[in-house]
Amino acid sequence: MQRKYNRIFLDIVSQIEQGVYQPNDLLPSEKTLSDQYQVSRDTVRKSLGLLEQNGYIQKSKGKGSFVLDTNKLDFPVSGVVSFKEINQRMGRNFETFVEELKCQPANEQLQKNLNLSSEERVWKLIRTRKIDGEKIILDKDYVVQKYVETLTEVICQDSLYQYIENTLGLKIAYANKEITMQMATDEDRHYLDLKKYDMVAVVRSYTYLDDTSLFQYTESRHRPDKFIFVDFARR
């Protein structure tokens, strides 16, 4: 049996996206929904909580749950999402190139970033992403070998996250991200079609598994004119 609250959440999401509920409409009350779906009010409340967190509705005491305008979900880089997942959702034309893949001892910087001892090894993976014919993104991944024993070019060309979650059965739980701007390096210029630009947008991510182990550090470097990060935030 699938989780009820998740099924209801997805059901209402699809109704909002299909326009059954329009922006500024009021959803049925929690009581009504719990009757409709034949579940307890608390279960409905979990579903509505998910909707609220994800920017689909705004709840208001004494009034009800208003549907928000979700057309502004342009480019969901927010959250822990892989490049492949984003582009699939956007229906965009993209290619991935594996530029480098090797397993090496962690250098000092990586030992610090990934909390490793000097004997431990990491996979170093460099990929570039071509969108509409231009190389725009340079991804440098460092994956702790302790958690991911083997990597191949084929896997990296497809989706690292899919392999880690589906094949290895590891659970990716959360990430700390940091967005900055930096002067472009020779490496950036070597791998990317930077045109006139001399800076790049840098997204550093530390990704953690279910059991709180830090298993990956990623530096994603973007040509500035093609970079966008969107976020939905609650106060």
Partner DNA sequence: CAGTGGTCTAGACCACCAA
Partner DNA sequence: TGGTGGTCTAGACCACTGG
The one-letter amino acid code at 74 reads: D
Binding positions for its own copies, 122-161, rule CB under 8 A: none
- CA–CA dist 84, 95 (Å, integer): 10
> Would you give the binding string for DNA spanning residues 64-103, x where CB under 7 A is met?
xx--------------------------------------
Q: Is the dihedral of CA 11, 15, 17, 18 positive or negative?
A: positive
Give the nearer residue to DNA in terms of CB position, either 36 or 40. 40
Considering only 43, 96, 128, 220, the residue that binds DNA (CB under 7 A) is: 43
Under the binding rule (CB under 8 A), the answer on residue 6 touching its own copies is no
Considering only 14, 15, 36, 40, the residue that binds DNA (CB under 7 A) is: 40
Least Å distance, CB 58 to DNA, is 9
> Smallest Cα–Cα separation from 160: which of 54, 80, 82?
82
Residue 105 and residue 121 in contact, taking contact as beta carbons nearer than 8 Å: yes
Beta strands per DSSP E along 41-171 = 57-60, 64-67, 94-105, 121-131, 134-144
Considering only 79, 112, 187, 189, the residue that binds its own copies (CB under 8 A) is: 79
Q: Is the dihedral of CA 32, 38, 40, 46 positive or negative?
A: negative
Binding positions for its own copies, 18-57, rule CB under 8 A: 24, 55
Reduced to 3 states (helix: H, G, I; strand: E, B; else coil), residue 125 is strand
Site residues, DNA (CB under 7 A): 1, 3-6, 27, 29-32, 38-43, 45-46, 48, 59-65
